[in-house]
């Protein structure tokens, strides 16, 4: 299989002449023609006229690196929201994100935090009755569990949720 990405120029909005760039996710196909057919079927529509999309073939290593960067970006995003709240301005967020990219120790803290959340999710999948827990309850629980500072506090939060039956 081969890996392709398409890029094209678009107007940023109906009231502006500013031009931006749109990019597809990686398209996996056997040939360039198959990749173009997937592009036309999946991404192109009459609402957004696209002329001359530029095609770039990627290596698997490049695809992996892009996915890893997307994961790192998500980790930074979640860490900033957790540390600074949702009311951070776009400018502040951008500054914090840039700072987080450059500070190895702070990024390590963000990685540990992300890993802690993933461990909580695995624990929840194993032990909670997910047929009885709503998404809102689970999200609220994860936030509370993640911020619990003592094992007693953690246990109290955990015990409030429906568990899988042992039978």
- pLDDT-derived band at 48, boundaries 50, 70, 90: low
What pLDDT is stored for residue 134 in this prediction? 84
- pLDDT-derived band at 82, boundaries 50, 70, 90: confident
What pLDDT is stored for residue 75 in this prediction? 92
Per DSSP, the chain holds a count of helices (H) and strands (E) of: 6, 4
Ordered by start, the domain boundaries in the chain are: 2-58, 61-124, 128-167
The residues, any chain, with a CB within 8 Å of residue 83's CB and separated by 6 or more, are none
Bridge partners (DSSP) of residue 7 are: 23, 54
What pLDDT is stored for residue 76 in this prediction? 92
Lowest average pLDDT, out of 11-15, 35-39, 84-88, 96-100, goes to 11-15
Q: What's the full length of the chain, in residues?
A: 167
What pLDDT is stored for residue 167 in this prediction? 46
What pLDDT is stored for residue 16 in this prediction? 61
Asked whether residue 2 carries a pLDDT value surpassing 90, the answer given is yes
Give per-residue pLDDT as tens, 71-80.
Answer: 999 999 988 9
- Print the SS3 string covering 64-121: HHHHHHHHHHHHHHHHHHHHHCCCCCHHHHHHHHHHHHHCHHHHHHHHHHHHHHHHHH
**Cα dihedral 100→103→104→107 (10° resolution):** -20
Report percent pLDDT > 90 for the chain.
26
Asked whether residue 8 carries a pLDDT value surpassing 60, the answer given is yes
Lowest average pLDDT, out of 51-65, 93-107, 125-139, goes to 125-139
- pLDDT-derived band at 125, boundaries 50, 70, 90: confident
Asked whether residue 45 carries a pLDDT value surpassing 80, the answer given is no
Asked whether residue 20 carries a pLDDT value surpassing 90, the answer given is no
Average pLDDT over residues 39-57: 75
């Amino acid at each position: 299989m081969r890996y392709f990405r398409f890029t094209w120029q678009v107007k940023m909005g109906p009231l502006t002449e500013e031009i931006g760039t749109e990019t597809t996710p990686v398209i996996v196909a056997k040939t360039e023609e198959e990749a173009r057919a997937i592009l036309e079927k999946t991404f192109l529509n009459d609402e957004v006229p696209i002329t001359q999309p530029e095609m770039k073939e990627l290596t698997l290593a490049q695809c992996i690196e892009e996915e890893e960067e997307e994961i790192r970006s998500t980790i930074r995003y979640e860490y900033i929201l957790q540390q600074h709240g949702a009311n951070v301005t776009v400018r502040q967020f951008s500054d914090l994100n840039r700072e987080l990219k450059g500070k190895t120790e702070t990024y390590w803290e963000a990685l540990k935090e992300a890993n802690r959340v993933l461990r909580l999710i695995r624990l929840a999948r194993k032990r909670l009755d997910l047929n009885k827990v709503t998404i809102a309850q689970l999200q609220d629980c994860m936030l509370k569990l993640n911020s619990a500072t003592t094992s007693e506090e953690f246990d109290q939060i955990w015990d409030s949720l429906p568990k899988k039956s042992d039978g």
